[in-house]
Structure 1
Amino acid sequence: MQTEKVIDYIVDWLKSYATNAKMDGFVLGISGGIDSAVTSALCAKTGLRTLCVEMPIHQAPSQVDRGREHIQFLKKHYANVSNTEVNLTSVFEEFKTAVPQTKRDSFLDLSLANTRARLRMTTLYYFAGLHRYLVAGTGNKVEDFGVGFYTKYGDGGVDLSPIADLMKSEVYKLGEALNIPNSIMKAAPTDGLFGDSRSDEEQLGASYDELEWAMKMVEAGKTSSDFSGREKVVFDIYKRLNRANQHKMEPIPVCEIPKELK
């Protein structure tokens, strides 16, 4: 990959899109992870106003520290970058008291995890509306179009997706070129939605490198019967997640009424 040229291409694309949309800049959430770090740096390089928002909800201190380190790095190098923090912990806790109580199980845990992401989306659009900003998505290709590892109308609720055509490994290459802090480059990827230290790999059952391999194998027309051992396990994980999360990747279905019924 021609990393520097890819960076320039994305930056030009971002600036052109915002200009054509007659918007004044970008807003995005900073999580302390590689995807939001790279995306915010790309937005900053446009020269347009870029608002970085921290939205902790019972967040692990290490994630908060990495996010703040990155924001300070951006503000040091880009005069167009600003930041704010909205602690959503009390909002999240109040939400839990407002909805019907249910038995605590995996479905409840997942529903509440997705609620965190949707509270953050709502917050980003609040700032977007105030300042005429575009909400920049931070999803990469294997997450958005491979295994659907994001929250529908949460971190998936955005105006544009600058890095969604890049594999996770390619995002790291951009991170190196953009001088993203080493603490972020070395951190294990996590969505931070469960209030514990579980990594993306623990949730998915495979590493991003493995899932990228599986995605390429599917695109090459391979099937599960072509593999054995760990390769077969990873391939089947990818296919299962891809199938289960198609509802996130496909356009919202519209019930089209036959003309004779109208």
Structure 2
Amino acid sequence: MQNYIDYLVDWLEQQRREYAAEGYVLGISGGIDSALAAHLLVRTSAPVQGLILPSPTTSAQDIADARAVAQSAGCPVMELSISALYEGFMQSMAALFNQEAERQNVIAGNVQARLRMTALYAYAQSHRAIVVGTDNAAEWLTGYFTKFGDGGVDVAPLLGLRKEQVYQLAKLLGVPAQIMEKAPSAGLWQGQTDETEMGVSYAEIDAFLRGERVSAEAQRQIDFWHNRSHHKRRLAPAPLSLSAFEQRAKANNEIKAE
């Protein structure tokens, strides 16, 4: 575990140098994933800035937990509310939204996640920093992240870790107990938890990632989330260029002529 921590720190520095960046920025939510990321980043040789970006659905406990993470990691942190920005957006852009669409709370939560992404990149561009993601292997498998929200990052150091391994590394690095013990939540709405929304536990997803058999219900839920989220794990598809299309058409015509 310690060797892997050292590897991740070196990997982060390698990525930063390839970006020709001077430091890192990440959103600190008060959850286990961002806590681990913060503790990894402060072990690099570059400046780190944490941002706490609460919205109308962010609990006071999550803000307190985010500050506890920053303090335990020794990570500088700024708290900047996106509430006014979010409420102004929802009011001024109300005509964009279909009020009869399903999962209204998810639609609203995704707007919040994308506003946070905008804030992180605003800091990154003005401070020559790279945006660090906090998604793990279980979230990547299921697509449990917002496209161009918390999924919109420059580097994703936790993608090789199952949720159980996130906890193992976090414990080793001294993440506060209050973070280790809380139920994982994206904070999309009051009382929301990851496992309740997905209908499958992280323990079951981790078992699947280990190559073990899981219950039929867990397999159905994993397949459901994975299959509906392929678009999140790839770049936007693009057609052939006009030149390539013309070359293919010419080759097909030559074959037909033969």
TM > 0.5 between the two?
yes
- What does the per-residue CA deviation read over 1:174-233, in whole Å, with 9 as the maximum and x for residues that have no partner? 001100000000010000012x0121010010110111223344xx7x7xxxx7xxx000
DSSP-derived class of the 2:103 partner: helix
Give structure 2 stretches of 5+ with no counterpart: 251-258
**Alignment-mate amino acid for residue 66 of structure 2:** G
**2:72–2:174 contact (8 Å) kept in structure 1:** no
**Alignment-mate amino acid for residue 65 of structure 2:** R
**1:215–1:238 contact (8 Å) kept in structure 2:** no
Asked if 1:117 is matched to 2:113, the reply is: yes
The structure whose Rg is larger is: 2
Name the residue aligned to 1:46. Answer: 44
- What does the per-residue CA deviation read over 1:99-123, in whole Å, with 9 as the maximum and x for residues that have no partner? 2164365333221110000000000
Name the residue aligned to 1:200. Answer: 194
DSSP-derived class of the 1:134 partner: strand
**Alignment-mate amino acid for residue 36 of structure 1:** S
Deviation beyond 4 Å, 4+ runs, structure 1: none
Give structure 1 stretches of 5+ with no counterpart: 76-80
Q: CA, structure 1 residues 150+122, in 2 after alignment: closer, same or farther (shift >3 Å)?
A: same
- Comparing 236-245 with 247-256, greater Cα deviation is found at 247-256
DSSP-derived class of the 2:76 partner: strand
Aligned equivalents of 2:35, 2:100: Cα separation in 1:
34
Name the residue aligned to 1:108. Answer: 104
- What does the per-residue CA deviation read over 1:142-164, in whole Å, with 9 as the maximum and x for residues that have no partner? 101x1010000000000001111
Note the C-alpha offset of 1:73. Answer: 1.6
Name the residue aligned to 2:62. Answer: 63
CA RMSD in angstroms comes to 1.7
Query: Alignment length, in residue pairs?
Result: 243
Aligned equivalents of 1:33, 1:107: Cα separation in 2:
23
Aligned equivalents of 1:109, 1:16: Cα separation in 2:
39
**Alignment-mate amino acid for residue 31 of structure 1:** S
- What does the per-residue CA deviation read over 1:73-99, in whole Å, with 9 as the maximum and x for residues that have no partner? 222xxxxx3211110001111111012
Under a length normalisation based on structure 2, what TM-score does the superposition of the two structures give? 0.89
Name the residue aligned to 1:178. Answer: 173
- What does the per-residue CA deviation read over 1:9-48, in whole Å, with 9 as the maximum and x for residues that have no partner? 0001111221232211100000000000001111110021
Note the C-alpha offset of 1:63. Answer: 0.8
Aligned equivalents of 1:20, 1:105: Cα separation in 2:
42
